[in-house]
Chain A
Amino acid sequence: MEGGFGSDFASGGGGGGKLDPGLIMEQVKVQIAVANAQELLQRMTDKCFRKCIGKPGGSLDNSEQKCIAMCMDRYMDSWNTVSRAYNSRLQRERANM
């Protein structure tokens, strides 16, 4: 059954051609989150390659893969520890102002 389809479309998100700031803010937040994830992955890859791969062979052997897996988890642990420590320091500094 048709009916009401056209009007539903037109009434959504601010109508006409106006930009919805709420939508823009959400999209920006997503882009920022993606950028942060990429940054994290890039640094993690660098660090874990250095720790786990000696002389590069023809493929990643089992021990190398296990090392990389553990390294990833430890890197995340480290990141979280640093994040908490930095946050605590910021709170302390603000409390002292």
Chain B
Amino acid sequence: GGSGTAMDPPSGAGLGGADPQLQRFIEVETQKQRFQQLVHQMTELCWEKCMDKPGPKLDSRAETCFVNCVERFIDTSQFILNRLEQTQKSKSAFSESLSD
């Protein structure tokens, strides 16, 4: 099963009414916007971690840092959702056995 991370496609259901072209358009644009928003967010976060003093070009060490940063951010997002899912499962099993 998928964990609802920055990977999932949006449904866009209910929007665009009966027009399938408009509905499709909304789905695509929503997806694009989610991507854009995450790029904005990750650039901001990773800038803090990877950029010292802005120089005449982005050196390879900084570039590697940015790439790693993106990967680790997504890993973090997935980790959190997976662990939350697990904690919820074990919690509900626990509270069932406690029925008062």
| Residues of A that sit less than 8 Å from B by CB | 21, 24-25, 28-29, 32, 36, 39-40, 43, 47-48, 51-52, 67, 70-71, 73-75, 77-79, 81-83, 85-87, 89-90, 93
Contacts and interface: CB of A to CB of B under 8 A. Distances in A.
Contacts of B38: 86
Contacts of B33: 32
Nearest to A29: B29
Interface in B33-73: 33, 35-36, 38-40, 42-44, 46-47, 50-51, 53-58, 62-63, 66-67, 69-71
Interface residues of B, number: 34
A79 B47 CA distance: 9
Interface stretch (B19-27, B80-88, B90-98): B19-27
A73 B56 CA distance: 8
Nearest to A97: B2
A83 B38 CA distance: 9
A76 B44 CA distance: 11
B67 A43 contact: no
Given A71-B54, A86-B38, A81 B29 contact: no
A71 B53 CA distance: 8
Interface string B1-20: 00000010000000000010
Contact of B71 (A32, A39, A48, A89): A89
A67 B54 CA distance: 7
A83 B70 CA distance: 9
A21 B54 contact: no
A32 B33 CA distance: 8
A77 B38 CA distance: 16
A39 B40 contact: yes
A51 B53 contact: yes
Nearest to B63: A81
